[in-house]
Amino acid sequence: MSNQGNSTLQPTAALIVIGNEILSGRTQDQNVAFIAQKLNNLGIILTEVSIIPDIEEIIIQKIQILSKSYSYVFTTGGIGPTHDDITIQSVAKAFHVPLELNQSIAKVLEDECHSRGIPLNEARLKMALVPKGAKLIPNSVTHIPGVSLENVYVFAGIPIIMRAMFEEIIPLLNHGSPIKSQTIQGYAREGDLAAGLTQIQQTYPQVDIGSYPVSSDDVHSVSIVVRGTDEKIIASATKEVIDLMRQYGGEPLLGSVNKNLLQPNKS
């Protein structure tokens, strides 16, 4: 899909996950799969995910390169009050604009601090600094917004907040044709199916056919996933995969179209 058929009509995206805690293995990322699934449904092709440390030069460079290469760039992480939260300032530098104090965020922070009896100190006020020309992304969870500038959307890293922010920006994105998928699972060996799958992929270049062994045990169960934007073509390719699987295994099980089960990594 990303390299085939009607992909030129689909918007593209990159995701930058910013955080030493992911690169140290302390934190298991939960944001990539969520954003990937959402973009699929919106018909936006996620082509690259980059996980990078809290280092300003690296963040700036990555934003500059990816924002030129893709329709949209999303970032997660690094927008809190502490010294290691440097995403917003890096976005400003990437686009050569200054940071400005946003009065509406300052007011939110002021009210919040007042109601909790805590001081509105410099660290907290840092969260009211936004790049000049940026738009705010509402945050229904903690009320401190994310920002967008040009084609870059800056989200919090905490999954519940990131998800709330993502929902807000959906209407702002150009959508493509939703990417649908059909999973065909059965007891068969990848090595038996491979030649037939290659042929089916060649017959239907408009879809992407992926083959994912379910286990590494002796009895092999495999999931074949057919992905594309045209349900008729998906159905035709799926029928051929079913016929192929029947030659080498039992009766395949069909997942519902567009079922996105989270499964372990493939071979």
Tell me which residues in 130-169 interact with a copy of itself (CB under 8 A).
141-142, 156-162
Regarding beta strands 208-213 and 221-228, do their DSSP bridges make them parallel or antiparallel, or are they unpaired?
Answer: antiparallel
Measure Cα distances from 240 to 22, 53, 160, 224, 244 in Å. 41, 45, 41, 11, 6
**Binding residues among 187-206 for a copy of itself as defined by CB under 8 A:** 189-195, 197-198, 201
- Piece in contact with a copy of itself (CB under 8 A), picked from 16-24, 93-101, 128-136, 169-177: 16-24
Q: How far is CA 102 from the centre of its chain?
A: 28
- Identify whether the C-beta of residue 230 lies closer than 8 Å to the C-beta of residue 259: no
Q: Please, which residue, 107 or 133, has the CB nearer to a copy of itself?
A: 107
Restricting to residues 31-60, name those near a copy of itself by CB under 8 A.
31-40, 46-55
From the number of C-beta atoms within 10 Å of its C-beta (0-12, 13-18, 19+), residue 234 rates as: buried
Q: Give yes or no for residue 186 binding a copy of itself (CB under 8 A).
A: no
Residue 207 contacts a copy of itself per CB under 8 A:
no
Position 30 contacts a copy of itself (CB under 8 A): yes
Contact string (CB under 8 A) for a copy of itself, positions 55-94, x = contact? x--------------------xxxxxxxxxx---------
**Ramachandran category for residue 15: left, alpha or beta (phi over 0 → left; psi -120 to 50 → alpha):** beta
Tokens of 218: 């002796």
CB 243 to a copy of itself: min, Å = 17
* Residue count of the chain: 267
**Least CB distance from residue 193 to a copy of itself, whole Å?**
7
Contact status: 260 vs a copy of itself (CB under 8 A)? yes
